[in-house]
Chains A and B, each alone.
Chain A
Amino acid sequence: MKQKFNIIKSTCIPVAIDNCNTDLIIPARYLASTTRDPKFFGDAFMHDLRYDANGKPVADFVMNKPEFSEAPHEGCHEIIVGGQNWGSGSSREHAAWAIAGYGVRVVISSSFADIHRNNLLNCFVLPVVVTPAFQQELFASIAKDPQTIVTVDVPNQTVTNEATGHSEKFEINGYKKHCLVNALDDIDYLLTQKDKTEAFEKTMKKY
């Protein structure tokens, strides 16, 4: 799951669903796992939109369309462009595992739900917040040409729609950027801070 981030240049999967909640990203019945098997969670990604009740692929769902159905690999479908308020609802990190397990490295949206956004970062999937105008232009570019390339430059914090040449700066704090570029996670950092935590415990007021 840990991977280093630098510059990602890839085609995208447009999932133009506003308020796409984590129940849609991964239905509850796929939470009943005690492991973090990427294949299991990747297969469950958007399951009930991808497949009908008989397990047959839903032809008109975007991920099943020929131009978007290829499994993500370098340069191909590593980016999802999502609708606004992406990842609302349940805190299930399984939603981030599903996205990561499917092979996606970046989700672009005009807004993310807070818990899901943290979960994505902790799973080394980069949530990129863009303006609604940039998001809509991306959807339009991809609709026109499914091969539209988007470049996400993590060190410089820019996202570029290569079809139009339009670029935006995105926010990420210096600590988290350092973590992503160097494939470091929060738990390892916290484990190095135990002295500070113990010192804090001695001074804190309970009531």
Chain B
Amino acid sequence: MANTLFDKIWDSHVVQVIPDGPTQLYIDRLYGHEVTTPQAFDTLRDKGIKAFRPQQIVAMPDHNTPSDQQEVINDPIGRKQVDTLAANCKEFGIKHFAMGTKDNGIIHVVGPEKGLSLPGMTIVCGDSHTSTHGAVGALAMGIGTSEVAEVLASQCILQSKPKSMRINIEGKLKTGVTAKDVALYIMAQMTTSGATGYAVEYAGSTIRNMSMEGRLTLSNLSIEMGSRAGIIAPDETTFEYLKGREYAPKGAEWDKAVAYWRTLKSADDAVFDKEVTYRAEDIKPRITYGTNPGAGIAIDECVPTLDGLSDAEKAQLTAQLDYMQFRPGQKLEGTPVDYCFLGACTNGRIEDFRAFASIVKGRKKAANVVAWLVPGSWLVRQQIIDEGIDKILEESGFELRLPSCSSCLAMNPDKVPAGKLSISTSNRNFVGRQGPGARTVLASPLTVAASAITGVITDPRKLF
């Protein structure tokens, strides 16, 4: 019975179920970026076929885009990927938001803010953080390049239906605790594979009271515990956020859409394969200490010790701490940082910049810190300027950069040098993620702001 929100969206997109095989699932929206599409377009050319439903596809470069200037990409291979995307979109008749234009930005920021991602849709992209779009009540999943080619060619993918999980968060978040901290908390409880094989729905009073930006952050990080999808039932917050967006339905269409979207929720008696509940009051500002996003602690806690671990666990923790140059049992608060990054599809939205500015206002950036403040899109950047946040940042010694994935993944000039410690609002602290040898501590915009002011890992609550 289609009783969960996920079931409802999934079931309404089933073209057919192959006997003893996967489901042929219809895709409403495909997003494309320059890194995971070139070979997919090649597949279509090799087969001599056109895009099946080009009007349902939107593409934009984001991974290779520099954040200091966008006149030119100096890296020839990165430039070639960006140029190739533009040429492919032209050839296949696909909407393309070019680098440096007001439409451009990180896909997972642009899609929702332009109303291209809507409740009830199936959305895919060759990017694991496609889970972000689940925050508007869509079934959104990351896929591989072969699957991108499948969607280009047929507007469908073949998928086995995942199991269902609901994560409830109940209560009021404490001051200084953001959606990012909630996500880092859940990940530490669930581990990085705790939701593998599941599609997650987030629910509970904490979520109901969370802003759209916060929900997007939470859904974004679903993949970091293994879930391809992190869906949140659409409600007034969703409708308020989407209303009037460039590609959202208008007039009578809007009313019709909202009437349908209101039905998109799990039934009161919905049964999930797994259900967990966390209390908002248990969550403090979080940081990571290891090299996977689940390796995290509250900011006032110490790095775990090796006590009571199996030999295999000891080896894994030791390897992570060796890379991070941290010690078992060490308190990380007060550790000098070299780089601070605000941005990425995780925390590159207006609310994140407001939060950052609320901390740094009237204070000065620490001299030992290099700070990259990178809006997730040109729309976000414009709003930052319209709200005067850029002035606050400037007065505090920060520079507002240009929209890009930037320092999240070391595919553009914003690389953290080997051995340097970065405190970052991005989504992954993997070995070498921000640059070969770079060490990454994941945190919220508030915590990154506080650390950028003091020059050491800092609990933002101490700067309120």
Count of residues in B whose CB is under 8 Å from the partner chain = 80
Check A88–B77 contact: CB distance below 8 A: no
Residue A182 interfacial (CB < 8 Å): no
Interface string of B43-54 (1 = CB under 8 A from A): 100010100100
Check B26–A201 contact: CB distance below 8 A: yes
| B26, B39, B158: residue with the most chain A Cβ atoms closer than 10 Å | B158
Q: Closest B-chain residue to A18, C-beta based?
A: B316
Chain A residues within 8 Å of B431, by CB: 23-24, 48
Residue B93 interfacial (CB < 8 Å): no
Chain B residues within 8 Å of A115, by CB: 128, 141-144, 223, 228
- B154's partner among A21, A123, A194 (CB-CB below 8 A) is A194
B33 smallest CB distance to A (angstroms)? 11
Query: How far, in angstroms, from A176 to B120 measured CA to CA in the complex?
Result: 29
Residue A78 interfacial (CB < 8 Å): no
Check B21–A175 contact: CB distance below 8 A: yes
Chain A residues within 8 Å of B75, by CB: 32
Q: Which chain A residues (160-207) contact chain B, with CB distance < 8 Å?
A: 173-176, 185-187, 189-191, 193-194, 196-197, 200-201, 204-205, 207
Query: How far, in angstroms, from A28 to B436 measured CA to CA in the complex?
Result: 10
Chain B residues within 8 Å of A185, by CB: 146
Check A197–B154 contact: CB distance below 8 A: yes
Check A204–B80 contact: CB distance below 8 A: no
Check B432–A190 contact: CB distance below 8 A: no
A75 smallest CB distance to B (angstroms)? 28
Check B430–A196 contact: CB distance below 8 A: no
Check B156–A36 contact: CB distance below 8 A: no
Check B418–A173 contact: CB distance below 8 A: no
Chain B residues within 8 Å of A34, by CB: 38-39, 80-81, 84
Query: How far, in angstroms, from A175 to B430 measured CA to CA in the complex?
Result: 35
Chain A residues within 8 Å of B418, by CB: 53
Residue B13 interfacial (CB < 8 Å): yes
| B159, B224, B418, B430: residue with the most chain A Cβ atoms closer than 10 Å | B430
A174 smallest CB distance to B (angstroms)? 3
Chain B residues within 8 Å of A29, by CB: 410-411, 436
Check B158–A186 contact: CB distance below 8 A: yes
Q: Closest B-chain residue to A27, C-beta based?
A: B432
- B147's partner among A53, A118, A175, A205 (CB-CB below 8 A) is A118
B256 smallest CB distance to A (angstroms)? 6
Query: How far, in angstroms, from A174 to B17 measured CA to CA in the complex?
Result: 13
Check B154–A119 contact: CB distance below 8 A: no
Check A48–B36 contact: CB distance below 8 A: no
Q: Closest A-chain residue to B261, C-beta based?
A: A207
Q: Closest B-chain residue to A205, C-beta based?
A: B12
Check B428–A187 contact: CB distance below 8 A: no
B262 smallest CB distance to A (angstroms)? 10
Chain B residues within 8 Å of A93, by CB: 36, 39, 126, 144-146
Query: How far, in angstroms, from A7 to B34 measured CA to CA in the complex?
Result: 38
Q: Which chain B residues (424-464) contact chain A, with CB distance < 8 Å?
A: 428, 430-433, 436-437
Chain B residues within 8 Å of A191, by CB: 47, 49, 153-154
Chain B residues within 8 Å of A189, by CB: 158
Interface string of B319-361 (1 = CB under 8 A from A): 0000000000000000000000000000000000000000000
Check A114–B197 contact: CB distance below 8 A: yes
Query: How far, in angstroms, from A170 to B12 measured CA to CA in the complex?
Result: 31
Query: How far, in angstroms, from A185 to B43 measured CA to CA in the complex?
Result: 12
Query: How far, in angstroms, from A190 to B410 measured CA to CA in the complex?
Result: 35
Residue A10 interfacial (CB < 8 Å): no
| B24, B80, B128: residue with the most chain A Cβ atoms closer than 10 Å | B128
Chain B residues within 8 Å of A27, by CB: 410, 432, 436
Residue B196 interfacial (CB < 8 Å): yes
Residue B369 interfacial (CB < 8 Å): no
Check B153–A114 contact: CB distance below 8 A: no
Given A33-B77, A193-B24: A204 and B13 interface contact (C-beta under 8 Å)? yes
Chain B residues within 8 Å of A91, by CB: 36, 126-128, 130, 142-144
B437 smallest CB distance to A (angstroms)? 7
Residue B192 interfacial (CB < 8 Å): yes
Query: How far, in angstroms, from A30 to B408 measured CA to CA in the complex?
Result: 15
Query: How far, in angstroms, from A21 to B410 measured CA to CA in the complex?
Result: 16
B116 smallest CB distance to A (angstroms)? 14
Q: Which chain B residues (71-114) contact chain A, with CB distance < 8 Å?
A: 75, 77-78, 80-81, 84
Given A32-B411, A115-B142: A88 and B24 interface contact (C-beta under 8 Å)? no
Check A196–B142 contact: CB distance below 8 A: no
Query: How far, in angstroms, from A167 to B231 measured CA to CA in the complex?
Result: 39
Query: How far, in angstroms, from A33 to B78 measured CA to CA in the complex?
Result: 8
Query: How far, in angstroms, from A36 to B42 measured CA to CA in the complex?
Result: 10
Shortest Cβ-Cβ A-B pairs, 10 listed:
A175-B21, A174-B20, A122-B146, A93-B144, A119-B144, A34-B38, A91-B142, A85-B193, A190-B154, A91-B128
User: Using a CB–CB distance below 8 Å, which chain A residues touch chain B?
Assistant: 18-19, 21, 23-24, 27-29, 31-36, 48, 53, 84-85, 88-94, 96, 111-115, 118-119, 122-123, 173-176, 185-187, 189-191, 193-194, 196-197, 200-201, 204-205, 207
Name 11 interchain pairs, CB-CB below 8 A, sorted by A. A23-B432, A28-B433, A29-B436, A91-B36, A115-B228, A118-B144, A118-B147, A122-B147, A123-B146, A187-B47, A197-B156
